Amino acid sequence: MSQSITNISLIAAFSAGLLSFVSPCGPGPQYPAMGKAVIDIGVCSKGYAWIFPKQGRLSVGVGEFQSKPASLKKTFDRFVGGEKDLAGLDVPKPMGHPLPLFSRTELSPEPGPDDLVNGQAMLVGDAGHLVDPLFGEGIYYAVRSGKLAAMAVLNQRHDRGKSLWAYELAIREQLYAEFRIASRLADIVYTFPRLCHRLLSPYREVVQLYCEVLQGKETYQSFIPRAKGILKSSTSELLLEAMRLR
């Protein structure tokens, strides 16, 4: 494993941070295995760590999705140090940037001039905090919000009676509904990581279904009823109990 190109990343919380590096080496065995990735939701507080192989590199990092995260560098070092197969890597000092997660607690009940649209200005992607609060996915929502913003501009250009606020209404209808569900799931997963791991381990179909959410093939709104259909009633009851305890 000491013979590969490695991209190591760190994500911090609500206004999270991304730390990354690239280290050159030669060919080596696939890690963790061909076609597999590592996601560890127990190594940090209200967050997760990952190892994603991609094109001769490894994307490795940790994220803590809370307003005042603990020392990410310490969490990162602990995670990397605990992965024995990464021991041969020359790990340089990671670098980072903020990751603005969606927060349902800061969302005003009705659209206003200071939310996503103000005059002729519109906030898209990270600028509008359009980042999935469960796993920090932002690229998909940046592209999607950009398309919705462009559509609002074109519609107003063709019809001056239309407002750019149509963009914010579309975001609230299409994305905020998704983020609210993701935020509730994040509360459960990061508050009860071991419970969730134990309950979901036998149900690989649920994990695969969530991967389709990340790929844009499924929505959170369609994921929830389908996941409930896969899970046994006893498991669902335990998850509901976990929701009541949060």
SS3 label, residue 161: coil
| DSSP 8-state secondary structure symbol assigned to residue 185 | H
Q: What is the C-alpha to C-alpha distance for residues 166 and 148, in angstroms, rounded to an integer?
A: 9
Q: Given this model, what pLDDT does residue 23 score?
A: 45
Tokens 């094109």 sit on residue: 55
pLDDT at 22: 46
Question: Taking Cα atoms as reference points, which of 131, 148, 233 lies closest to residue 186?
Answer: 131
Count how many Cα atoms sit within 13 Å of the Cα of residue 192 in the half-sphere of its side chain: 17
Separation CA 55–CA 52 (nearest Å)? 10
Mean pLDDT across the chain: 77
What proportion of the chain, given as a percentage, has pLDDT over 90?
18
* 117 membership: H or E segment, kind and range: strand 117-118
Whole-number pLDDT of residue 170: 93
Q: What is the pLDDT of residue 246?
A: 47
Among 57-61, 105-109, 183-187, the minimum mean pLDDT is found in: 105-109
Residue boundaries of the structural domains of the chain: 6-99, 104-245
The answer to which of 14-28, 41-55, 60-74 has the lowest mean pLDDT is 14-28
Q: What is the DSSP string of 38-74?
A: EEESSSSTTEEEEEEEETTEEEEEEEE-SSS---HHH
| Contact of 200 with 179, CB cutoff 8 Å | no
Question: How many angstroms separate the CA atoms of 41 and 43, rounded?
Answer: 6
**144-156 pLDDT, tens per residue?**
999 999 999 999 9
Give pLDDT, residue 79: 86
- Retrieve residue 140's tokens: 């998909």
The dihedral sign for the CA sequence 151, 155, 160, 165: negative
pLDDT tens digits, one per residue of 188-224: 888 888 888 887 888 888 888 988 998 888 999 999 8
- Greatest mean pLDDT range, 26-40, 60-74, 129-143, 221-235: 129-143
Residue 57 or 16, more confident: 57
pLDDT digits (tens, 9 = 90+) for 9-38: 544 434 555 554 444 444 455 565 666 788
Average pLDDT estimate for 92-103: 75
Could you tell me the end-to-end alpha-carbon distance of the chain, in angstroms, rounded to an integer? 41
Q: What is the pLDDT of residue 102?
A: 87
Longest dimension (CA), the chain: 63
pLDDT, position 175:
93
pTM of the model: 0.76
pLDDT digits (tens, 9 = 90+) for 138-187: 899 999 999 999 999 999 988 877 888 899 999 999 999 999 999 999 88
Question: From CA 76, how far away is CA 18, in angstroms rounded?
Answer: 11
* Half-sphere CA count of 104, side-chain side, radius 13 A: 16
Contacts of 93 (CB under 8 A, 6+ apart): 21
pLDDT attached to residue 144: 94
